[in-house]
Structure 1
Amino acid sequence: MKKYMVLCAGLFASVAFTGCKSSESAYKKAYEKAKAQETAQQPIDQTQPEEVNVVTPIVEKPATETKVVDNTDNVQVRQERVSVISGSGLKSFSVVVGSFSVIANAEGLYQRLKDAGYDAQIAKNDERNMYRVIAATFDSKSDAAASRNEFRAKYPDAWLLFNGQ
């Protein structure tokens, strides 16, 4: 029985290997046909005009024509009702440098700002139960925005608060 199995396996293998023809010649014929078509079309393609890139010259304006735009109207301001816990009182616009749910964390930042010479304050937002650490407070939005930009060097998440009481 083993002899027949080995004989059948050998016969199957020989049929399988001899039945496969090399298809290399078919690929070679297809390549030569494509190459012939490409060379036949090449003179037609050369008669088409080439694309030309047109570059517009740069016109420079003198520095006297440059306008400086005051973008304080585009500064994002949050409006919240807050009550002062520590500090002298809030004006219309304030620069918030920290926001904490635990008052001990707010007091730590408050003390660091006080030690650095700022008129820092802590205000509580009762709706969200958050303590806001305020570094400076102003009457005008433009002054508050300028101050916020300065504070962002040390406190990148500083934002403006409008006291809506």
Structure 2
Amino acid sequence: MKKNILFCAGLCAVLALSSCKSSESAYKKAYEKAKAQEQAQNNSSYNNNTPVVTPVVEQPATQTTVVTNTDNVPVRTERVTVVNGAGLKNFSVVVGSFSLKANAEGLLNRLRSSGYDAQLGFNQDRNMYRVISSTFDNKADAVRSRDQFRATYPDAWLLFKQ
């Protein structure tokens, strides 16, 4: 009797496990249904999004000069003697500082070949050569020039001649 019960329980288990098996056709139907929904969504979204073309309106470009307060701009005061150049005015833009004269002259020649009236100064207190790209009488012009040079020389700074 126990054998019959075990046999029936085993047969029921085999039937239960084999009847729960998913068929390939069921997967295929679900996949085709999902693809159809996705395609229907894409078709409806293409119809809803119509491009709107607006004409190009040309406006004249205006150039404005921003005036900033130059009182807060830091300036270094040093005693610099001109080694190579015409002479320094009150405010100068320094683009390079070198302890070796050969390095300073290399940058000086590069600036001059680019069309700048560069000069070479020497600070005897610090034993440094200063490559000066431009020199001005007033601070505002020197600040403007320094800001232009900062695109190429980010460490450019202002020097006030002592």
- Scaled by the length of structure 1, what TM-score is found? 0.58
Counterpart of 1:102?
Answer: 100
* Structure 2 segments unaligned to the other structure (5+ residues): 1-65
- Deviating beyond 4 angstroms after TM superposition, the runs of 4 or more aligned structure 1 residues are none
Counterpart of 1:140?
Answer: 138
Counterpart of 2:150?
Answer: 152
Q: What is the Cα deviation at residue 71 of structure 1?
A: 1.8
Tell me, in whole angstroms, the C-alpha distance in 2 between the residues paired with 1:70 and 1:109: 30
Counterpart of 2:71?
Answer: 73
Q: How many aligned positions are there?
A: 97
Counterpart of 1:51?
Answer: none
Tell me, in whole angstroms, the C-alpha distance in 1 between the residues paired with 2:110 and 2:134: 14
Tell me, in whole angstroms, the C-alpha distance in 1 between the residues paired with 2:68 and 2:98: 32
Residue 110 of structure 2 aligns with an amino acid whose one-letter code is R
Q: What is the Cα deviation at residue 70 of structure 1?
A: 2.5
Give RMSD over aligned pairs.
Answer: 1.0
Q: Deviations over 1:124-156 (max 9, x none)?
A: 000000000000000000000000000000000
Tell me, in whole angstroms, the C-alpha distance in 1 between the residues paired with 2:130 and 2:138: 20
Q: What is the Cα deviation at residue 119 of structure 1?
A: 0.4
Tell me, in whole angstroms, the C-alpha distance in 2 between the residues paired with 1:69 and 1:149: 13
Counterpart of 2:20?
Answer: none
Tell me, in whole angstroms, the C-alpha distance in 1 between the residues paired with 2:68 and 2:113: 33
Tell me, in whole angstroms, the C-alpha distance in 1 between the residues paired with 2:134 and 2:99: 20
